[in-house]
Amino acid sequence: MSSEINHRTRPPKAAANGPEFPSIGFVRLSAILAPNGPIPVGRTTWWEGVRSGRYPKPVKLGPRITAWRAEDILKLIDGAK
């Protein structure tokens, strides 16, 4: 088997006790919401919260790529404590 990286496959998802949430940069929705992320809500609830202003607005990185600033998500988490 070749040692080359197949760029068409996605990296494995982090385990529940995996790496900590990043402090800077952009994060995708799958890294924000449970079970992989720190926010225990579903996708529909999240998007309703974005529309109402409860959750931070996303940043479009491309035509089909939506992400959030890690700093905004950390502020949301700190504000909920």
Distance of CA 45 to the CA centre of its chain: 15
- Count of structural domains, the chain: 1
Q: Residue 54's domain spans which residues? A: 26-80
Residue 25: left (phi > 0), alpha (psi -120 to 50), or beta?
Answer: left
The answer to whether residue 14 is domain-embedded is: no
Return the half-sphere exposure (C-beta side, CA atoms, 13 A cut-off) of residue 52.
7
- 21 in any annotated domain: no
Q: Is residue 5 part of a domain?
A: no
Whether 18 is covered by a domain: the verdict is: no
| Residue 13, in any domain of the structure | no
Q: Coil, strand, or helix at residue 10?
A: coil
Q: Which two tokens stand for residue 34?
A: 């449970």
In a domain, 3, yes or no: no
Tell me the per-residue pLDDT of 8-55, one tens digit each, with 9 for 90 and over.
544 444 444 456 889 999 999 999 999 989 999 999 999 999 999 999
The pLDDT of residue 16 is 44
Q: Which pLDDT belongs to residue 14?
A: 44
> Taking residues 65-80, what's their average pLDDT?
94
Q: Is residue 4 part of a domain?
A: no
The answer to whether position 42 is within a domain reads yes
The confidence score (pLDDT) of residue 48 equals 98
